[in-house]
Structure 1
């Protein structure tokens, strides 16, 4: 069982940062981050998420014009922005990832709606695992919508069969960028037990 400190780190005290301290994130830490995040479960181990770590100034400059105005400055100062994508034809890897059922791929071949919903759902899970792993490694996160998905795909994923799901800034958050913690729904507002 995790300690109270760990629950605070992962969820209770974790915040979405809007500003970043000028501290780099080493490439080795990004590899460690992925090695942890990839272990989170997905349906039939389909693992559709694809991660592009935008770290260089040149790559960041390509990304900034594709963002909603409110996301530009926080991304400009972030050491890393992760483009969390979903492989549209993830099922091609299923013989490798789900070998106990060699025909699993056929469930998705020719069924665009099932393939798209499965890729979106599971890449969202994998993006959340990435954020939890980042927090566990001492990084802060700033997940974002508010970008031109088609433009991000054209700029960073041209020729790849990957759809953008969401973006997430990573680094060491600037506490001065935080605002008052926003409310959450109570159990009875968000949950039912049947």
Structure 2
């Protein structure tokens, strides 16, 4: 007979901040977000589970007017005002050379570095699943640090990659606006599916 290991439960307040009360934000106050807070977001997000601990997600924070000037033309027109108002914008990318870090992040199987180096299709398999998984944790981390997140998929990924990652193997997968909301939500929260509509038992 095995003995279970007790795990901590977060408070109802934390559940509300991360899930029930959290809302996607479309316009942001001009309150600055400190570099230390953006670092804290990553310190939480990096604990997301990934296959073999391979961690392909990378983050580029765009904060300066010059950076925004480079980013905004690559966003869908309707998304530009959202990112223009955000004090920080995170470009979430996956690193197709994630295997270079394997001796450090997977020391029990360092030989996997060579395995992935020789198999681009397997690298794509890792990034296509685990990158979005980490991105979900990144959004929760933004909320856990007391900020609002505005994730967006409406952008020219090839244009962003050429602008910001021309000499690397990073490829953008999501843009996340970060900051404090400029006011209350613009509309009521939309319904979510009840468990009887989305959960099955076997």
TM (normalized to structure 1)? 0.94
Q: Answer whether contact 1:152 1:164 (CA < 8 A) is retained.
A: yes
Closer, same or farther in 2 for the Cα pair 1:177/1:5, shift >3 Å?
closer
Q: Answer whether contact 1:62 1:155 (CA < 8 A) is retained.
A: yes
Closer, same or farther in 2 for the Cα pair 1:110/1:185, shift >3 Å?
farther
Q: Answer whether contact 1:141 1:173 (CA < 8 A) is retained.
A: no
Closer, same or farther in 2 for the Cα pair 1:64/1:47, shift >3 Å?
same
1:88 matched residue in structure 2: 96
1:6 matched residue in structure 2: 14
Task: Flag structure 2 segments of 5+ consecutive residues without an equivalent.
Answer: 1-8
2:156 matched residue in structure 1: 148
Structure 1 distance, partners of 2:194, 2:114, is 42
Q: Answer whether contact 2:147 2:178 (CA < 8 A) is retained.
A: yes
Structure 2 distance, partners of 1:42, 1:147, is 26
Structure 2 distance, partners of 1:77, 1:84, is 19
The Cα RMSD (Å) is 1.4
Deviates more, 1:139-148 or 1:34-43: 34-43
1:27 matched residue in structure 2: 35
Deviation at 1:110, TM superposition (A): 3.0
Structure 1 distance, partners of 2:186, 2:94, is 30
CA offsets 1:134-182 (integer angstroms, 9 cap, x no match): 1111110000000000000000111010111101000001234532212
Aligned to 2:30, the other structure's residue is in SS state coil
User: How many residues get paired?
Assistant: 194
Structure 1 distance, partners of 2:164, 2:186, is 30
4+ residue segments displaced more than 6 Å? none
Structure 2 distance, partners of 1:110, 1:183, is 46
1:52 matched residue in structure 2: 60
TM (normalized to structure 2)? 0.90
Deviation at 1:43, TM superposition (A): 1.2
Deviation at 1:40, TM superposition (A): 2.1
Aligned to 2:127, the other structure's residue is in SS state helix
CA offsets 1:120-144 (integer angstroms, 9 cap, x no match): 2212122222211111111100000
Closer, same or farther in 2 for the Cα pair 1:7/1:89, shift >3 Å?
same
Aligned to 2:117, the other structure's residue is in SS state coil
1:119 matched residue in structure 2: 127
Task: Flag structure 1 segments of 5+ consecutive residues without an equivalent.
Answer: none
2:49 matched residue in structure 1: 41
CA offsets 1:58-102 (integer angstroms, 9 cap, x no match): 100111110111101011000011000000121121111100112
Q: Which has the larger radius of gyration?
A: 2
